[in-house]
Amino acid sequence: MRLSVIGCGCVGVVTAVCFAEIGYDVICFDHNEEKINDLQKGRINIYEPGLKELLKENLQKGRIKFTISLEECVNFGDVIFITVGTPLLLDGNLDVSQIELLAKQIGHFVNGEKIIAIKSTVPAGTSRLIQEVIDSNNKTYHKCSVISCPEFLREGLAISDTFNMERVVIGTDDPCIANLIEKLYSSFSKNFVHTNWETAELIKLASNAFLATKISFINEIANICDKCGADVTKVALGMGLDSRIGVSYLKAGIGYGGSCLPKDTVASVKSAEDMGYDFEILRSAINVNKKQLLKPIELLLDALRVKDLSGKVIAVLGLSFKPDTNDIRNSPSLPIIKRIFELGGTVNAYDPVAIPEVKKIFPVVNYYSEIDDAISGADAVLILTEWDHIKKFDYGKISALMDNPLIIDGRNILSLEEMEKYKVNYYSIGRTALFSN
Ligand code: UDX
Residue 316, pLDDT > 90, answer yes
Is residue 172 domain-shared with residue 28, that is, in the same domain?
yes
Q: Are 129 and 99 in contact (CB under 8 A)?
A: no
As a whole number of angstroms, the distance between CA 370 and CA 382 comes to 15
214 lines ligand 1 (CB under 6 A): no
Is residue 18 domain-shared with residue 149, that is, in the same domain?
yes
Q: Are 182 and 160 in contact (CB under 8 A)?
A: no
Residue 292: inside a domain, yes or no?
A: yes
**Which whole number is the average pLDDT over 163-192?**
98
Q: From the CA of 320, how far away is ligand 1's center (Å)?
A: 12
Is residue 60 domain-shared with residue 188, that is, in the same domain?
yes
| Known binding-site residue numbers for substrate | 152-155, 204, 249-253, 257, 322
pLDDT at 437: 58
Is residue 294 domain-shared with residue 159, that is, in the same domain?
no
Q: Are 172 and 178 in contact (CB under 8 A)?
A: yes
Residue 100: inside a domain, yes or no?
A: yes
**Which residues are bridge partners to 251 per DSSP?**
none
Q: Are 87 and 116 in contact (CB under 8 A)?
A: no
CATH classification at residue 403:
3.40.50.720
Residue 169: inside a domain, yes or no?
A: yes
pLDDT at 435: 75
pLDDT at 413: 97
**Which whole number is the average pLDDT over 348-356?**
97
CB-facing half-sphere around the CA of 193: CA atoms within 13 A: 19
Nearest residue to 303 (alpha-carbon basis) of 311, 122, 295 = 295
User: Which range marks the domain in which residue 385 is found?
Assistant: 286-434
**SS3 category, 59:** helix
Residue 213: inside a domain, yes or no?
A: no
Is residue 172 domain-shared with residue 313, that is, in the same domain?
no
Compute the mean pLDDT over every residue in the chain, rounded to the nearest whole number: 96
Nearest residue to 134 (alpha-carbon basis) of 114, 105, 112 = 105
**Which whole number is the average pLDDT over 147-165?**
97
Residue 208: inside a domain, yes or no?
A: no
List the residue whose alpha carbon is closest to atom 27 of ligand 1: 256
pTM over 0.90: yes
Residue 68, pLDDT > 80, answer yes
As a whole number of angstroms, the distance between CA 389 and CA 317 comes to 10
Residue 207: inside a domain, yes or no?
A: no
429 lines ligand 1 (CB under 6 A): no
DSSP letter, residue 170: E
Q: What is the DSSP string of 202-219?
A: HHHHHHHHHHHHHHHHHH
Residue 436, pLDDT > 70, answer no
Residue 132, pLDDT > 80, answer yes
Residue 191: inside a domain, yes or no?
A: yes
Domain count, the chain: 2
**Listed residues 165, 195, 225: the one ending a domain:** 195
Residue 392: inside a domain, yes or no?
A: yes
**Which whole number is the average pLDDT over 66-73?**
98
Question: Percent of the chain having pLDDT more than 90?
Answer: 98
As a whole number of angstroms, the distance between CA 254 and CA 427 comes to 13
Mutating to test ligand 1, I would choose from 207, 322, 333 the residue with most ligand atoms within 8 A of its C-beta, which is: 322
**Listed residues 195, 230, 263: the one ending a domain:** 195
pLDDT at 337: 98
**Listed residues 195, 216, 234: the one ending a domain:** 195
Is residue 189 domain-shared with residue 301, that is, in the same domain?
no
Is residue 291 domain-shared with residue 190, that is, in the same domain?
no
Is residue 291 domain-shared with residue 167, that is, in the same domain?
no
**Which residues are bridge partners to 347 per DSSP?**
314
